[in-house]
Amino acid sequence: MFNILKTAVLMAAITGLFMAIGAMIGGRSGMMIALLVAIGMNFFSYWFSDTMVLKMYKAREVDATTAPHFYAMVQELAQRAQLPMPRVYLIDESAPNAFATGRNPEHAAVAATTGILNVLTERELRGVMAHELAHVKHRDILISTISATMAGAISMLANFAMFFGGRDQDGRRSNPLVGIAVAILAPMAAGLIQMAISRAREFEADRGGAEISGDPHALASALQKIHRHAQGMPMEAAERHPETAQMMIMNPLSGGGLRGLFSTHPSTEERVERLMAMARGAA
């Protein structure tokens, strides 16, 4: 129920941003058009955003024949988590990372880069995939896919406002500086919404993943190793679509500045510390 409420709040906040930008571009009529677009985008995000994200990353679906070991690992973990078997994808990318997507556990998919398969041990990879299945079990995947799709759309709409200007409620042209401000602030606002939801969600998925795999140490070790290897190894698809970064187990974006300030992921050190405390408590 709480995740359903979070999804509703997210949709409402993103829709509000859409309407505000629409009002800036076209006054009252622009606001109404933006509302209709937002409703359509929310509908599209619910049904098709997972497919779109997988295409962004050029993910290829695998099965027991094409990736037997990896597929069997996910299958065993899904059974331990009492989840339906998700679709399984690989991404031909050297940067180590993974994510889950879909609208519910019955229509879920998990994806991992070939880089993460090469970098991690079997135990560590098992911990990572358990983390992704925890997202599925907690029904986080709908929130992440919707927020990724809508944040990208807000950025495009904000850029439109900057280049083509806007109108006030009476239809008069607005100050061009307003358009520039919207182009900067609207994506930041969308990012703050993602950040507020995503950071707490990652901690919960770490805890759930450790419970599913039964091995908090392995997930902690995997996070440390991914963090080390990911530095200086940008993930090209994520750089092109930064709104999808919050879906990953580790922030795939390079550079600091505002991207670091508004990171959707908690620090690796804090995540590892919590997992080690969980391991000590289970000992």
Catalytic-role residue among 132, 204, 211, 239? 132
CB of 92 within 8 A of CB of 117? no
pLDDT of res. 4: 60
- pLDDT tens for the 283 residues of the chain, in order: 555 666 667 667 767 777 777 777 666 776 777 777 777 776 777 787 789 899 999 999 999 999 999 999 999 999 999 999 999 999 999 999 999 999 899 999 999 999 999 999 999 999 999 999 999 998 888 777 666 666 666 766 666 665 555 555 555 555 555 555 556 666 666 666 656 666 678 999 999 999 999 999 999 999 999 999 887 787 888 888 887 888 899 988 865 444 444 566 889 999 999 999 999 886 5
CB of 159 within 8 A of CB of 25? no
Distance between CA atoms of residues 155 and 48, nearest Å: 19
pTM above 0.75, yes or no: yes
pLDDT of res. 127: 98
Phi, psi of 2 (to 5 degrees): -65, -40
Phi-psi map region of 71: left, alpha, beta (phi>0 left; psi -120 to 50 alpha): alpha
Distance between CA atoms of residues 268 and 203, nearest Å: 10
B/e letters for 175-207, b = 16+ CB within 10 Å, e = fewer, are eeeebeebbeebbebbbebbbebbbebbeebbb
Has 204 been annotated as catalytic? Answer: no
Phi-psi map region of 104: left, alpha, beta (phi>0 left; psi -120 to 50 alpha): beta
CB of 141 within 8 A of CB of 135? yes
- The domain segmentation of the chain, as residue ranges, is 2-282
**What's the start-to-end Cα distance of the chain, in Å?**
32
Distances (CA, A) of 136 to 78, 86, 106, 165: 10, 9, 9, 41
Assign 252 to helix, strand or coil. coil
- Quickly list DSSP for 255-279: --HHHHHT-SS--HHHHHHHHHHHH
DSSP letter at 104 equals S
Count CA within 13 A, CB hemisphere, residue 148. 30
Adjacent-strand bridge partners of 98: 112
Residues in contact with 164: Cβ distance below 8 Å, sequence separation at least 6, in sequence order: 25, 179
CB of 47 within 8 A of CB of 103? yes
